[in-house]
Chain A
Amino acid sequence: MITESVEEYLETIYRLYERGVATTTTNIAKELKVAPASATQMLKKLAKQGYLKYTPYRGVTLTAKGKRTGKEILRKHRVMEKFLGTLGIPKSKIHKEACELEHHIPHDLERAIYQKVEGEKPLPPGAPSDVVPLTSLLDGQKGVISFIGGGRGASQRLADLGLTPRTEITVIKSALFRGPLLISVRGTTLAIGRGVASRIFVRAK
């Protein structure tokens, strides 16, 4: 049985990893709003349980097991956020509530909610709901926009350029040094900064 705080840690580390932020103890502690000392203690514990490798002063790398768990919780978190959004719950509360709910949602219920909010054809049983940020697509890979997070200005701008929900986009390539992504959408080519791209969530194809 995994405790909630273990899940919370793995989710956070996975999120940092996905964003490409270095998974150092400092970063993890800052993201979780805990003291670095207590984070260190917890990370050592997680290392013992085989979720990650911990190097003092360097930070952590998730093992396959750790990645799997982190990804699952983060996925549940996003599905719950989306679901709470459709209920008309204020944005300010959504994140907090989703943080609570993510630990208590069984797989089949998650899938049902996912189908409800996405309005897609039923997923085959066992298939993961694969909503990922655009930045995790590979060069040449296609995805269908699920939703766009972030500020009103940026999301409006993206929508104006044709990035509306349920639109297909192709990642052409991404620049070096964590640079922007070149994408193709509605017959035009756009460059999207990495920060912006990490808030565009797609279902990978």
Chain B
Amino acid sequence: MSTTEKKSIRIALAGNANVGKSVIFNYITGLHQHIGNWPGKTVEKAEGTLYFKGHTIDVLDLPGIYSLSAFSIEERISREYIAVEKPDVVINIVDASALERNLFFTLQLLELGTPMVVALNQMDVAEGKGVTINVSELQKFLGVPVIPTIATKGVGIGKLLEKAVKVVRGKTKAKPARYGREMEEKIRKITKLVEKIPIRYPPRWVAIKLLEGDEEINKIVGGIDQKIVSNAEKHAKDLERIHGEPCSTIMTSERYNIANKIARRSQRIIPSRGPTLTEKLDAVVTHPVMGYPILIGIMLLVLFTVFTVGGYLSGFFEDMMEPIRGAFGSGAGELIGEGLIGGLIAGVAIVLPFILPFYLILTVLEDSGYLPRAAFMTDSFMHKMGIHGKAFIPFLLGYGCNVPACLGCRVMETERERTIATFVVTLVPCAAVTVVVLGLVGAYVGIHWALALYALNLVIIFILGKIAFKVLPGEPMGLIMEMPPYRKPHARSVLKETWMRVKEFVYIAFPLIIIGSVVLTGLKVGSLLEPIGDAMSPLTVGWLGLPAITGVLLIFGVLRKELTLVMLAALMGTTNFGTVLTPTQMIVFAIVVMYYIPCIATIAVLVKELRWKKAIYITVFEIAFALLLGGIAFRLLTLV
């Protein structure tokens, strides 16, 4: 993307979740898009470029949010961007079928005073619900252009862009809506004070946020002039005395009153006679009896498909790449062959084939609207481990691979909930751990012992999750989630979304897998493995009662946990593990492998999602916990 064009226009897309925002984004930016993170934040930042009638337009897709109240990281990022970076125009995407709730957000965008165009999207869905909207009436109330669109069919998008460009050229600013008389009086008084201080935000908006008691704005303004903050607090108290509610609630009610008035005056609703398709489906899918078999059926189907497709792809890639590995000989060549190429093969042939189908199915489920239903059905179960229904999907993902599972924890809104969910997810035994548990304990000690280890794991997750829930500071947050209507997944969006997710995963995981692989091969070539194994023997032999060689295995396991088993076979020169390990040793070893550390790719994601400090805490805790549990198991099992 070149930045030399002088006519480059910056558009930001803003709106609630589930209104077709990403469909519009994908539609207008085509392949010219890239996805990353907001600087220093674990929130997705999607940007794209398009060329439209001689203009270069940079489009930024803001996260889907319901408010600008700074409740979540997403909300804070969005308002910071609109207020400070000031895009040339904001396109507010509004769901025509839920006008009132969407207009509540529109009113908040208007408060920020940036030039704006409203895309009245999902007109077809609204029609299906018996809603007809008088567009010109709505436009009059809002004071900004309103363009009806059906994004999934591309209807109205050209007109929308045209209008957006026109608004930028005309430099027309949106006019904030007016609230109740006493409220406006307070806002005016505080705005006057705010206008005198140097601040990057629109003064009227700052005044409103001060009245609401917004922590972030309070801090910023307080840093310049504490008197303004205390003055605003006094005004807020006045309002609270009259209304008997916190000022932020009064403000929210006020906005909703206006949104309600506008919605009522600009739409006609002829309620449909029978139940809608969503209602009919929900009656079955969230049914207390029928809902659970459906949930389990869908999850089994997902796992089955992922493992079948993944297994096939994995074999295919491995056959293709294996010859390259051997071509480098030993010694220094081994560093390239075993280390570099071996690491790459691990990524391409072992991890990627499972991630790709998984993301594809996940995106389809997400797009269809089933995931919120799954969260609804599993909420009470998830509560037992200190998290709520929204974490069900990441939790389930964990059984496949911890990496996408940790990424999936982004659906949790608050930092606290996200941390707990991510921690819990790293305790879930992934497919690689399953290989070890089944291959060792399941095959040589007995399948009931393997199942017992899984049951124990679940108990441990419940306990540790609950402890994390109690220990972590902050306000615990239960499930509050919108249930969007069911939709037919939009093929183009699904494919693009999957592609972006896979790309993101490759960027995080591949470098680490390859570096790790090179380092370990280096240790092997330099014959450093045995000294390391010996150095670890007080722990492995003394405390855990395992053969000294397992120290080396555990180091390799950091890379990929199934390597512990592969290496055991290689180092012992046999695949009949019954001859080299006692049943007790097998169980202890499996337990340690299950908990001892998130693998290197998972640690990388932890750093990315939770920053270094928490990632180190989790890693160190899990090593200590695995050793403790393994040692206890060893002592108990030898007693038996």
CA distance A88 to B237 in the complex (A): 8
Instruction: Name the contact of A176 in the complex, choosing from B244, B253, B288, B383 (C-beta under 8 A).
Output: B288
Take A160-B71, A175-B379 as given contacts and tell me if A88 and B479 are in contact as well, using a CB distance cutoff of 8 Å: no
Taking the complex as formed, is B42 at the interface, i.e. its CB lies under 8 A from any CB of chain A?
Answer: no
Taking the complex as formed, is B184 at the interface, i.e. its CB lies under 8 A from any CB of chain A?
Answer: no
Taking the complex as formed, is A158 at the interface, i.e. its CB lies under 8 A from any CB of chain B?
Answer: yes
Take A182-B286, A188-B98, A193-B379 as given contacts and tell me if A161 and B240 are in contact as well, using a CB distance cutoff of 8 Å: no
Contact string against B for A residues 162-204, beta-carbon threshold 8 Å, 1 for contact and 0 otherwise: 1011110000010111111010001111111111100000000
Q: Which residues of A contact B413 (CB under 8 A)?
A: 157
Q: Are A178 and B380 in contact (CB under 8 A)?
A: yes
Q: Which residues of A contact B66 (CB under 8 A)?
A: 160-161
Taking the complex as formed, is B5 at the interface, i.e. its CB lies under 8 A from any CB of chain A?
Answer: no
Nearest chain A CB to B285 CB, angstrom units: 11
CA distance A159 to B237 in the complex (A): 19
Q: Which of A148, A164, A191 has the most CB of B within 10 A?
A: A191
Instruction: Name the contact of B248 in the complex, choosing from A88, A147, A159, A194 (C-beta under 8 A).
Output: A159
Q: In this complex, what residue of A is CB-closest to B255? A: A164
Nearest chain A CB to B214 CB, angstrom units: 10
Q: Which residues of B contact A106 (CB under 8 A)?
A: none
Contact string against A for B residues 505-540, beta-carbon threshold 8 Å, 1 for contact and 0 otherwise: 000000000000000000000000000000000000
User: A147-B245, A153-B475, A159-B252 are known contacts; what are 6 more A-B pairs with Cβ within 8 Å?
Assistant: A156-B69, A157-B477, A159-B253, A179-B389, A190-B480, A192-B480
Q: Which residues of A contact B388 (CB under 8 A)?
A: 193
User: B residues engaging A (CB < 8 A)?
Assistant: 66-67, 69, 71, 97-101, 104, 237, 240-241, 244-246, 248-249, 252-253, 256, 260, 282, 286, 288, 372, 375-377, 379-381, 383, 388-389, 413-414, 475-483
Q: Which residues of A contact B380 (CB under 8 A)?
A: 175-180, 194
Q: Which residues of A contact B246 (CB under 8 A)?
A: 152
Take A159-B249, A161-B101 as given contacts and tell me if A179 and B477 are in contact as well, using a CB distance cutoff of 8 Å: no
Q: Which residues of B contact A166 (CB under 8 A)?
A: 253
Taking the complex as formed, is A27 at the interface, i.e. its CB lies under 8 A from any CB of chain B?
Answer: no
Q: Which residues of A contact B100 (CB under 8 A)?
A: 162, 186-187
Nearest chain B CB to A107 CB, angstrom units: 22
Q: Are B71 and A186 in contact (CB under 8 A)?
A: no
CA distance A164 to B66 in the complex (A): 14
Taking the complex as formed, is A36 at the interface, i.e. its CB lies under 8 A from any CB of chain B?
Answer: no
CA distance A115 to B250 in the complex (A): 19
Q: Are A164 and B252 in contact (CB under 8 A)?
A: yes
CA distance A182 to B304 in the complex (A): 31
Nearest chain A CB to B378 CB, angstrom units: 8
Q: Which residues of A contact B249 (CB under 8 A)?
A: 148, 155, 159, 164-165
Q: Ordered nearest first, which 6 A-B pairs have the shortest CB separation?
A: A193-B478, A193-B479, A160-B67, A86-B244, A196-B478, A151-B475
Instruction: Name the contact of A180 in the complex, choosing from B97, B256, B376 (C-beta under 8 A).
Output: B376
CA distance A166 to B244 in the complex (A): 13
A-B pairs under 8 A by CB, number = 136
CA distance A179 to B245 in the complex (A): 29
Q: Are B101 and A186 in contact (CB under 8 A)?
A: yes
CA distance A165 to B265 in the complex (A): 22
CA distance A189 to B402 in the complex (A): 32
CA distance A193 to B380 in the complex (A): 8
Take A88-B241, A160-B104 as given contacts and tell me if A195 and B69 are in contact as well, using a CB distance cutoff of 8 Å: no
Nearest chain B CB to A144 CB, angstrom units: 13
Contact string against B for A residues 62-94, beta-carbon threshold 8 Å, 1 for contact and 0 otherwise: 000000000000000000001001101000000
Q: In this complex, what residue of A is CB-closest to B389? A: A180
Taking the complex as formed, is A117 at the interface, i.e. its CB lies under 8 A from any CB of chain B?
Answer: yes
CA distance A162 to B413 in the complex (A): 18
Take A88-B241, A165-B253 as given contacts and tell me if A160 and B479 are in contact as well, using a CB distance cutoff of 8 Å: no
Nearest chain B CB to A118 CB, angstrom units: 9
Nearest chain A CB to B170 CB, angstrom units: 32
Q: In this complex, what residue of B is CB-closest to A173? A: B286
Taking the complex as formed, is A34 at the interface, i.e. its CB lies under 8 A from any CB of chain B?
Answer: no
Q: Which residues of A contact B383 (CB under 8 A)?
A: 193, 195
Taking the complex as formed, is A138 at the interface, i.e. its CB lies under 8 A from any CB of chain B?
Answer: no
CA distance A99 to B473 in the complex (A): 28
CA distance A82 to B244 in the complex (A): 8
Instruction: Name the contact of A189 in the complex, choosing from B253, B375, B483 (C-beta under 8 A).
Output: B483
Q: Which residues of B contact A195 (CB under 8 A)?
A: 383, 478
Nearest chain A CB to B402 CB, angstrom units: 26
Taking the complex as formed, is A154 at the interface, i.e. its CB lies under 8 A from any CB of chain B?
Answer: yes
Q: Are B245 and A191 in contact (CB under 8 A)?
A: no
Q: Which of A82, A154, A188, A194 has the most CB of B within 10 A?
A: A188
Nearest chain B CB to A147 CB, angstrom units: 7
Q: Which of A117, A176, A179, A194 has the most CB of B within 10 A?
A: A179
Q: Are B481 and A162 in contact (CB under 8 A)?
A: no
Q: Are A189 and B482 in contact (CB under 8 A)?
A: yes
Q: Are B256 and A162 in contact (CB under 8 A)?
A: yes
CA distance A88 to B375 in the complex (A): 39
Q: Are A152 and B252 in contact (CB under 8 A)?
A: no
Q: Which residues of B contact A152 (CB under 8 A)?
A: 246, 248, 475
Q: In this complex, what residue of B is CB-closest to A147? A: B245
CA distance A190 to B480 in the complex (A): 7
CA distance A15 to B427 in the complex (A): 36
Q: In this complex, what residue of A is CB-closest to B288? A: A176
Nearest chain B CB to A115 CB, angstrom units: 13
CA distance A82 to B245 in the complex (A): 9
Q: Are B475 and A175 in contact (CB under 8 A)?
A: no
Q: Which residues of B contact A188 (CB under 8 A)?
A: 98, 101, 482
Nearest chain A CB to B345 CB, angstrom units: 43
Q: Which residues of A contact B67 (CB under 8 A)?
A: 156, 160
CA distance A167 to B245 in the complex (A): 14
Q: Are A191 and B376 in contact (CB under 8 A)?
A: yes
CA distance A97 to B205 in the complex (A): 37
Instruction: Name the contact of A179 in the complex, choosing from B99, B282, B379 (C-beta under 8 A).
Output: B379
Q: Which residues of B contact A177 (CB under 8 A)?
A: 380-381
Instruction: Name the contact of A154 in the complex, choosing from B240, B256, B286, B478 (C-beta under 8 A).
Output: B478
Q: In this complex, what residue of A is CB-closest to B18? A: A188
Q: Which residues of A contact B478 (CB under 8 A)?
A: 154, 192-196
CA distance A86 to B245 in the complex (A): 7
Q: Are A158 and B98 in contact (CB under 8 A)?
A: no
